[in-house]
A and B are shown apart, each in its own frame.
Chain A
Amino acid sequence: MTERCLSGAGKAMQLWKAYARSKSAVFGLVFLVGLALAAAFAGYIFHVNPELPDLAKDRVPPSFEHWFGTDYLGRDQLVLIVYGARPSLIIAFTAGALLSVLGTLTGVLAGYFGGRIDGFIMRTADVFLTIPTLPLVILVVALMGPNLFNVMLIIGLTGWPVMARIVRADTLSLMKREFIEIERVMGASIRRILFMHLLPNQLNSILVYTSLSIPVVILTEAGLEFLGLTPLSISWGFMLNTSISYWISGAWWLSFFPGLAIFSTALAFYFVSDGLKEALNPKAKRRRESLVVQLATRK
């Protein structure tokens, strides 16, 4: 019954059980996995070249033949959306992970060490905050050519400061709690304190902010697509951006479906991270109650 008796597989099972308690969390996960699989195997699902224009079918509204309608080049939007999931998901994951990891590490180091290190990290973060993403991308692309990898790198590199701030603030408030001091008294190494005590207690903030930054990442990538800075021509962001000029013609489905795709994906990411948060929270059984009631129930 004790935790330590469980092997790795046992622990994973326990985590899954806790995770699966939330229907929305499971739904989110299913959605993302489904989307990823569909995107990966799009070629087998659809036997059409997504990029092939068919001007005869210019802007056909959603119908039985074309569930999501067609775009201004006559391409089926459903196919485009599924193919477009690829770059969106890849970028969302990698750039999101990059900014999350960078932001978390710098934030916790700044919070733990304080003093000069804190000052240095935070001023660097400030500098990054002032760098406008798009001009930077243009610069990099001009110097090194359009490249998906570069794009991901840049989005990750410019997105970390906000996460760093959040993690730093959380770290500072955790440091005030005595258990961190006791760890030092017991001889814990800095690495242990950071990774086994400070960061695990901040999973809430980290997960929440990461999931909130996913749609931002997708949309940033959209802007880059629009400027032709990436080697891709199909992505949700791109579809969304080009659709704006067609509003006047009343072709609402050009914006609606890519927008819906971004929205659903962001929501799915949010559900997943929320589910993870709940599953990893040892206090999951108890709800938060007001202060007065806490006084009434126990100290």
Chain B
Amino acid sequence: MADLVMSAVAMRRAADVLLHGVGGRVVMLRMPATASAGDVTEQLGLAVPQFQDVELAPVVLERGSATGRTMLVSANAVNALVGSMGYSAVSVLFADAFGVLVDGVLMEVESVAETELGGAAAIYRLSLRVPVALQA
């Protein structure tokens, strides 16, 4: 069991090194604040929630189609965010996220997949949607 845990830790570190080595960079994950209970103005689109930008690194961005990007992100970084922000799971974190801010452009998270190494997630692969206004 200890070997398995050590293996997973080693694999995650290896994934971090790999992402850093291929030019890993920093992006911001934009999270909306909790809604106001019983506030009808939010339900009617009259009030806008507060947002918090949190750092996500190391990540590597792949240029996919004109409408999308693929982002690889370290599982260590994601798990640290899940823990510090009090989320129950990675899927909940990304489902709640308003988007990923890359060089001033906010991209919506369309889907999340994970690459498992040594019995645990080592890298998350996010499909991001480019805003309609910027689609070539």
Is the A/B pair a real complex? Answer: no
Q: Which residues of B contact A (CB under 8 A)?
A: none
Q: Which residues of A contact B (CB under 8 A)?
A: none
